[in-house]
Amino acid sequence: MDKLYTPHAIEEKWQRYWEENKSFKVAEDPHRKKYYLLEMFPYPSGRIHMGHVRNYTIGDVLARFMAMRGYNVLHPMGWDAFGMPAENAAIQSNTHPHEWTYKNIDTMRSQLKRMGFSYDWDRELATCDLMYYKWEQWLFLKMHERDLVFRRKSFVNWCESCQTVLANEQVEGGLCWRCKKEVTQKELAQWFFRITRYADELLESLDKLTGWPERVLTMQRNWIGRSYGTEIDFAVEHSPEKITVFTTRPDTLYGATFMSLAPEHPLARKLAEGTPRHASVQSFIERILKQDKLVRSSEDLEKEGIFTGACCINPVTGFRMPIYVANFVLMEYGSGAVMAVPTHDQRDFEFAKKYGLDFIVVIQPEGETLDPKTMACAYVDEGVMVNSQQFDGMKNSEAMENITRYLEKQGCGKKAVHYRLKDWGISRQRYWGNPIPIIYCDACGIVPVPEKELPVVLLKDITITGSGQSPLASCPEFVNTVCPRCARPARRETDTMDTFVESSWYFERYACPEYDSGPLDVQKVKYWMPVDQYIGGIEHAVLHLLYARFFTKVLRDLGLVHVDEPFVNLLTQGMVCKETQRCETHGWLYPEEVHNGTCKHCSAPVQVGRTEKMSKSTRNVVDPEQLIQKYGADTARLFCLFASPPEKDLEWSDQGVEGAYRFLYRVWRLVAEHRDNLIQALPVSDEQVIDTIIKNLRRKTHQTIKKVTDDIFQRFHFNTAISAVMELVNELYQGAPLARESTASRAAFREAIEAVILLLSPMVPHVCEELWSELGNRDSISKTPWPSYDEAIAEAEEAVIVIQVNGKLRGQITVNAKVSENYIKEQALACEKVQPWISGKQIKKVITVPGKLINIVVG
RNA sequence: GCGAGAGUGGCGGAAUGGCAGACGCACUGGAAUUAGGAUCCAGCGGGAAACCGUGGGGGUUCGACUCCCCCCUCUCGCACCA
């Protein structure tokens, strides 16, 4: 066996072996327990980055581990392949999105293969494949039938010069990120998924997700934002109109002295129409609507508003409430109208001070009397009702229910539940996405594309100009069609779907990627779903994970999926970080632009900045491919696993990588040096083992198996699992058992080495396959069962008992593990080192922890 | 402001009520080598010592990195939500 460890030759050899033997291909097997392990699939941006390497390595360890434990493991991979970067690349480099995407997929696929991940590549899918988006269109139609899809006008970020909708994150300081022109709010007809219909279930079934991190659950709860309150109607004076507000504080109704409307509120403009105020109200509204959303929603924004000239009537007090349009009222929340109670709401307080509006105290705190004239801020806490007619004297918490009930009786209010969650707008004025299967007919209106006419094919023969408009809209062969109902000429919808739609059901499609009689093969999905372990970044805590949960519930109601929740356990891995480096003249520097702390271009000293997430913009990146070239995939994998536990951020360290490589070499050398001796070793038989040194080695071996198994299975703490194996390797390097040159010592040594290789194999599979076969094993290590341990062998015969006096460490004794507590006590009290601390003192108490510790409490 | 997480040697981290610092990196010394690198072995929180040490202060306990209360710092999420 070669003394040299040659990772590249070994890795390529085994990657070929796995591919040729289809080692990780799986099929449903009712006799075996399934385990579905999934990592979030990547966007094919061009090349894999270190974040992918870490994410997919963690997943691969678990997949391989579970397979060795006897599970039928589904471990698929695919591509989240629709999206804007493909279109931007098309504009920049004149490459068609289709070509660009599939080329990137090819590159990234081979990079993933080069990492040695155990995917069943036969299940690979790309969401831009016709087969995939066709069935997504079919799902859209089914949702349309069930009124889960609707079209509505809504306000969106609109860039006039680019003629397109922009996502919130594409608006920078109120300007379009591409052309730097001002972004406006525009009302556009958009398609929506009625996710709010599932709001309660999405919220309530979070409680069932005990395998999810608490903070993800919290983020989802906040996002859904359910609040209980009351809807109250206010009649507008001299008008048939009424304004409905939602409030969580109906107890303050008697103190409502004015009304605030969001600038987007339909009545905001209307109320001033035909009055002298119209022009000023109009220009105020216009000015606010133009403001950047971020600016508008910041807390330190100056509260301003304008009187519409109209008033409404407080339904319980008859108070004439002037109606204002106010910049801080959000159309998205409640009804876009707020009953303002200056005495008991801080915002209303500030607003009322500014515009000289009325203050009426309706809740008095205990032992204090509020006076509107002297109040410095609103009183928002508990208290007793005053100025509230029949509710006076009640605790305000009781008054909430009572006032609501009273309003219900009067017919001007009711209990209501509101959500922060909005229906999901899915229309995108983009080319590289899934066409929405809808036809517009002048005679019949909105007509869904009939099922048998699916798919609506995304035309490839198209020029992307960068004008911002979807090229589909200016493509007559696409737009012009006939109405499926009346056969007259009609137009196709040219918007495409949000790409989050594709990622909402891909994990179910993995169960049956070839199926073509529907989106999902129910039987196969039934076998594989739910995903037992999902792994991905925290950045998807709300959006993707919420949409995927929503889709699973919709698919369940369509009878395609039998589970309520798609992901039983969720692991959110930390980011990969690295220190940043900067040169005065050349800005951020890539690691390879730095030489001995100086800039490669100008030799100026480099400033080392803070450690941040690896990112191209700060250039603190390490290319996985270079890492593989230098050290091999196993080293890259080992470093990612060893540097920190998966849920924490990982700090990149070149020296740490070096250390990982050194360890693999160390294992390699250990086997290479002893191979000839070990290859004829027989299995260990207990009666041979009388030698203490051999016994100790066997104990360490079995303890290590136990620890590694627990660390991987129960905690996903690969770093401590690896250090346990390192300890065993260190012990083997001491070489004592082999010095015995007996059958028994050879056997024990082989047992230990085999354990090392087996335990490391999910983490560094290539080198372990090679070492395993060098030891004379015929089968691939991936088909070898995970080693088991013998509790009796792992158990220590002798125990080191720590002796404390008053909680301080004073000595230790070594005793047989089976001796009685009393004996330990005697020995401890007799221990020389302990004597000075207890002599002449009264022993009050002695506490023993079996096998570990004894604490003598003296007075 | 609210919520969550974190704070331990020179560094990454380990220990979830029982010997603080496993394992690795860096560093130091030794072996080997013509020499360097690689390798192997050993040492490595502070302090001369008594002792002191897990962000700071208090508490519970025989015993606290670990549990409870208060405070500080950092990271993330939410944030005029009526």
Confidence class for position A688, pLDDT limits 50, 70, 90? low
Q: Give strand letter and number of the nucleotide nearest A661 (CA to C1').
A: B24
Residue range A386-435, pLDDT digits in tens: 999 999 999 888 899 999 999 999 999 999 888 888 888 888 888 999 99
C1' of B23 to CA of A717 (Å):
13
Please tell me the distance from the alpha carbon of residue A462 to that of residue A484, in angstroms, as a whole number: 25
Averaged pLDDT for residues A223-239: 90
Q: Give strand letter and number of the nucleotide nearest A248 (CA to C1').
A: B82
Q: Does the pLDDT of residue A812 top 90, yes or no?
A: no
On the CB side of A108, CA atoms within 13 Å amount to 26
Q: Which residues of A559-586 are buried (b: 16+ CB within 10 A; e: fewer)?
A: ebbebebbbbbbbbbbbbbbebbbbeee
Q: Give strand letter and number of the nucleotide nearest A335 (CA to C1').
A: B82
C1' of B56 to CA of A643 (Å):
30
C1' of B10 to CA of A781 (Å):
41
What pLDDT was estimated at residue A463? Answer: 78
Averaged pLDDT for residues A521-528: 97
Averaged pLDDT for residues A524-531: 96
Q: Give strand letter and number of the nucleotide nearest A733 (CA to C1').
A: B40
Tokens of A517: 């009689």
Residue range A613-670, pLDDT digits in tens: 888 878 888 899 999 999 999 999 999 999 999 988 898 989 999 999 999 999 999 9
Who has greater pLDDT, A835 or A513? A513
What pLDDT was estimated at residue A810? Answer: 84
C1' of B55 to CA of A36 (Å):
42
C1' of B18 to CA of A851 (Å):
11
C1' of B33 to CA of A683 (Å):
40
Q: Is the CB of A339 under 7 A from strand B?
A: yes
Who has greater pLDDT, A510 or A820? A510
Q: Is the CB of A648 under 7 A from strand B?
A: yes
Confidence class for position A40, pLDDT limits 50, 70, 90? very high
Query: Between the CA of residue A619 and those of A275, A573, A652, what are the distances in Å?
Result: 59, 22, 13
Residue range A154-187, pLDDT digits in tens: 777 777 766 667 665 566 656 666 666 777 777 7
Q: Give strand letter and number of the nucleotide nearest A812 (CA to C1').
A: B19
Instruction: State how far Cα A78 lies from the chain centre.
Output: 18
Please tell me the distance from the alpha carbon of residue A719 to that of residue A643, in angstroms, as a whole number: 7
Q: Does the pLDDT of residue A8 top 90, yes or no?
A: yes
Q: Is the CB of A336 under 7 A from strand B?
A: yes
What pLDDT was estimated at residue A590? Answer: 86
Q: Is the CB of A833 under 7 A from strand B?
A: no
Q: Does the pLDDT of residue A92 top 90, yes or no?
A: no
Residue nearest to nucleotide B64 (CA to C1'): A807
Please tell me the distance from the alpha carbon of residue A842 to that of residue A560, in angstroms, as a whole number: 75
Residues 530-569 of A with CB under 7 A from strand B: 538, 542
Q: Does the pLDDT of residue A775 top 60, yes or no?
A: yes
Confidence class for position A373, pLDDT limits 50, 70, 90? confident
Q: Is the CB of A658 under 7 A from strand B?
A: yes
What pLDDT was estimated at residue A186? Answer: 76
Are residues A542 and A220 in contact, defined by beta-carbon separation less than 8 angstroms? yes
Please tell me the distance from the alpha carbon of residue A430 to that of residue A83, in angstroms, as a whole number: 9
What pLDDT was estimated at residue A62? Answer: 96
What pLDDT was estimated at residue A172? Answer: 60
Give the mean pLDDT of chain A.
Answer: 88
Who has greater pLDDT, A764 or A462? A764
C1' of B37 to CA of A629 (Å):
21
Residue range A292-344, pLDDT digits in tens: 666 666 666 778 899 999 999 999 999 999 999 998 888 878 888 999 999 99
Residue range A717-741, pLDDT digits in tens: 999 999 999 999 999 998 766 666 7
Tokens of A639: 């470093």
Q: Does the pLDDT of residue A192 top 60, yes or no?
A: yes
Residues 210-229 of A with CB under 7 A from strand B: 214-215, 218-219, 222-223, 225, 227, 229
Q: Is the CB of A632 under 7 A from strand B?
A: no
Q: Does the pLDDT of residue A798 top 90, yes or no?
A: no
Q: Does the pLDDT of residue A519 top 70, yes or no?
A: yes
DSSP character at residue A605: B
Q: Is the CB of A719 under 7 A from strand B?
A: yes
Confidence class for position A485, pLDDT limits 50, 70, 90? very high
Q: Does the pLDDT of residue A370 top 90, yes or no?
A: no
What pLDDT was estimated at residue A582? Answer: 82
* Range in A420-424, A754-758, A776-780 the model is least confident about: A420-424
Confidence class for position A466, pLDDT limits 50, 70, 90? low
Confidence class for position A539, pLDDT limits 50, 70, 90? confident
C1' of B1 to CA of A583 (Å):
39
C1' of B7 to CA of A57 (Å):
28
Q: State which nucleotides on strand B lie below 7 Å from a protein beta carbon.
A: 3-5, 11-15, 18-20, 22-26, 38-42, 62-64, 76-82
Instruction: Provide the whole-model pTM.
Output: 0.91
Q: Is the CB of A184 under 7 A from strand B?
A: no
State residue A236 phi and psi, 5-degree precision: -90, 130
DSSP-derived secondary structure for A112-174: HHHTT----GGG--BTTSHHHHHHHHHHHHHHHHTT-EEEEEEEEEEETTTTEEE-GGGEETT
Who has greater pLDDT, A855 or A155? A855
Q: Is the CB of A652 under 7 A from strand B?
A: no
Please tell me the distance from the alpha carbon of residue A196 to that of residue A423, in angstroms, as a whole number: 6
Query: Between the CA of residue A121 and those of A24, A76, A269, what are the distances in Å?
Result: 8, 7, 59
When computed from its CA atoms, the radius of gyration of chain A, rounded to whole angstroms, is 35
What pLDDT was estimated at residue A87? Answer: 85
Q: Does the pLDDT of residue A254 top 90, yes or no?
A: yes
Say what percent of chain A tops pLDDT 90: 53
ipTM of the complex: 0.94
DSSP-derived secondary structure for A765-815: HHHHHHHHHHTT--S-GGGSPPP---HHHHS-SEEEEEEEETTEEEEEEEE
What pLDDT was estimated at residue A154? Answer: 76
Q: Does the pLDDT of residue A744 top 60, yes or no?
A: yes
Are residues A476 and A515 in contact, defined by beta-carbon separation less than 8 angstroms? no
What pLDDT was estimated at residue A131? Answer: 94
Q: Is the CB of A330 under 7 A from strand B?
A: yes
* Count of Cβ atoms closer than 10 Å to residue A661 Cβ: 20
C1' of B58 to CA of A806 (Å):
21
Q: Does the pLDDT of residue A60 top 90, yes or no?
A: yes
Averaged pLDDT for residues A597-604: 82
